[in-house]
Amino acid sequence: DSGVTQTPKHLITATGQRVTLRCSPRSGDLSVYWYQQSLDQGLQFLIQYYNGEERAKGNILERFSAQQFPDLHSELNLSSLELGDSALYFCASSDHRGSGTEAFFGQGTRLTVV
């Protein structure tokens, strides 16, 4: 158990809809990252938050947005969903204590758009 919790585990929704994925980081971790893994592909970095502020952005579509709340949990919002958005979405967290940047991953949310 990595200590990172993602809900829901599975989500099936129709095209055009909007969904929210939730992530609770490990206790004490200030950084939260969101990654997307599509069919047999590597993990693509979407966005990073550090202590409530956006820190880095990757290949995140304009239809997607995220935020990190004062209690450090994060939400990834996906709107106007398309079939191609079907993927595994992972959240990770790290503490940046200076010893390196190991990130610990949640179990992921499998999103299926039909």
What region, left, alpha or beta, does residue 16 occupy, with left being phi > 0 and alpha being psi -120 to 50 degrees? left
18 binds other proteins (CB under 8 A): no
94 binds other proteins (CB under 8 A): yes
90 binds other proteins (CB under 8 A): yes
- 37 burial (CB, 10 Å; 0-12 / 13-18 / 19+) is middle
- Whole-angstrom Cα distance, residue 93 to residue 5? 10
- For other proteins, which residue of 56, 69, 80, 84 counts as binding (CB under 8 A)? 56
Residues that bind other proteins (CB under 8 A): 2, 4, 6, 31, 33, 35, 41-45, 48, 50, 55-56, 58, 90, 92, 94, 96, 100-108
